[in-house]
Amino acid sequence: MKPFPFFTVTLFSMMTIVFTSLTQGQPTSTPDMPEKTLVAKHYYSGFPDAHDTYNAISAASDGKIYYVLSSDKHDVGGQFYVYDPATDQTKFIADLSEAVGEKNCIAQGKSHVEFYEYEGKLYFSTHVGFYEMIDGAECLPVNAPPGYKLYQGGHFVSYDMKSGKVESLALAPHGEGILTMTMDKQRGHLYGITWPKGYLLHYDLNTKQLKDLGLVNEQGEGGVIGEDYRVICRSMFVDPRDGNVYYSTAEGDIFFYRPGLAAPEKLADVDLRLDYFGTYDDTGAGSMAYNWRKIFWYEPENVAYGVHGNSGYLFRFDPRAKKIEIVERLTSEPSRKSGMFDQFSYGYLGYMLGNDQTIYYLTGGPVYIDGKRLKGVDRIAMGAARGLENLHLVTFNIPRREYIDHGAVFYQNGDLPTYVNSIAQDKAGNIYTLARFMHEGKEIEDLVKIPVDQNPSLPGWKLAWEENFDQDGVIDETVWSKIPRGGSDWNRHMSDDDALYDVKNGNLILRGMVNPGLPGDTAPFITGGVFTKDKKGFHHGKIEIRAKLGNARGAWPAFWLLPFDNTGWPRGGEIDIMERLNSDAIAYQTVHSHYTVNLKQTEPKKGSTGPIHKDEYNVYAVELYPDKLVLSINGSETLTYPRIETDLEGQFPFDRPFYLLLDMQLGGSWVGEVQPNDLPVEMSIDWVRFYEWK
């Protein structure tokens, strides 16, 4: 990909960067231009003292990006924000110390973990951001600043996305911050590892009980280097099949725990001491040693995919088979060619599974001056950059085993994002992180967005087809047909009468009315509907429908999908993108199959509701993936229905083409009786869009 037009000036006329400390007195020069580049936009959320943040950013089902900006002050807590892609605006939520009710003690300066969404709430934890320098190292304070108490310990925290309430669930023991966290969403359990010593914590949301399971490895990062010091694992995962939570150690061992065990147990016959990862002193500082850096569970294969910190190798871990396989070197393309390890001493935390079974990784790449790689220091005794580097966005599609380095990331003025250890992705495919940049003459760390629309090489939703109903009086018969009458509740009043259909002002109008006395038609009511049956199918993509629904007792408008190959119901599957009853301020979104209808299985959850603006236009959507369906209203996710491992047949018949139905319905066993005085009723469909993932 060629550089963007405004880069041709800004990158080559960027401010001269002083490299004296990194290049041991070599002459100052301008870095060579990378072959591929991406443009990023940074935001100022309103926190002038924002410090380096690790993890602490995630996308939620409401389509928004939640994040924490860190504070290194003893009297200022980390600042909790939300960004809305729809408005391109950030909003302050809370100061972490104030939110958990603490005063006059060393602040809850940051969160070091991702957000985990469960039953309408985001779960995360807090950590200390203010340190005391002891023997040249950043340590948990043992001397409180005047007028303040020592750090009280990190909190497990929940945030209610509807009410906006932040609640402390439990306080970590021993006065330690919570460094690492994961969640078992199926069972309602939180797990954490504290810092600096590394106690494993288990919090049960059902019983509201916190359990201290002891130290995970010697004295953790509170130990003596060369003796009982061990760098602590920064990422854990849960196997949803049995609830086992897994973490690694500096020696490269893998441990697991689940409720009911007396203590964590070492997984036998497998470890992370691989030659490809390098050789480490597990009692030393300045690297993650043999720990994995970041890891996540990948349900389609029932394995975990992780990345090793310093080497950047992607690996596949099967906990039941006790097997680790090297998959790919996930570093940037320049790093792969140069053979260098990561310049950030611990490796990178900007690693996630994205919308499309693709891994997204924000990693480093060497900076070159006159064709020569700029070399940093050989070793540092903490998690920090050993030298200046470019930021690269790398993707790896798991099913296709496809690696792509999309290029080095720059701000619009040509500056480099630095200290990047977080990542999130919105529903459109835009990438977010927290990174350093200059604001009003001061370097801060804040929200950064890498937009899909300005970076064509990035995966994202690409509009493949749309119907805008922009020709008055004309329904495109190459795509749509009027739905004929049938014997079911939903189609027993269907009619092709012209009074039920209209296209005007860019809308398709579908009506329901009292039968005016059509010749030979004895139905008390008539309704209009169209479908794409035998004309247009939809598979592996996203369907969005913008529509305004009329209000009437007995009205039952619906947008839904049936199998294009006409496989019989319910074995072929049915996806209800929108069903609304009467004048309700909610809409229903549901899936049906042999598994849910005939076998009457209720897990996974098959349906949900979401609020709508009852007298306005709303956008109803479904995302069709090989392994799941994601339904949403106005950008807020209401239901994810996954493919699961089961011996029962017909659980996921949805990986096939479907046709679309748009229809006004009246009466039936679900919606109830029709009130004729409320008729006619109509709905206006502004547009239908189908996106494919590029």
Please give the positions annotated as active site: 574, 579
Q: Supply the DSSP string of 460-471, one letter for each residue.
A: -EEEEEEE---S
What count of Cα atoms within 13 Å lies in the side-chain half-sphere of residue 643? Answer: 17
**Chain centre to alpha carbon of residue 187:** 20
Residue 32, number of CB atoms within 10 A of its CB: 14
- Name the one residue in this structure whose structure tokens are 């990178």: 348
Do residues 558 and 628 lie in contact, with contact meaning Cβ atoms separated by under 8 Å? Answer: no
Structure tokens at 270: 């497998």
Cα-based torsion angle of the residue sequence 442, 446, 451, 456 in order, rounded to the nearest 10 degrees: 60
The CA-based angle 328-332-336, given to 5 degrees, is: 65
436 pairs with which residues across the strands?
418, 445
Provide the 8-state DSSP code for 323. Answer: E
What count of Cα atoms within 13 Å lies in the side-chain half-sphere of residue 484? Answer: 3
Do residues 314 and 307 lie in contact, with contact meaning Cβ atoms separated by under 8 Å? Answer: yes
Number of H helices, E strands in the chain: 5, 48
Do residues 583 and 551 lie in contact, with contact meaning Cβ atoms separated by under 8 Å? Answer: yes
d(CA 83, CA 638): 20
- Reduce the DSSP state of residue 505 to 3 states and report it: coil
- Reduce the DSSP state of residue 124 to 3 states and report it: strand
Do residues 437 and 417 lie in contact, with contact meaning Cβ atoms separated by under 8 Å? Answer: yes
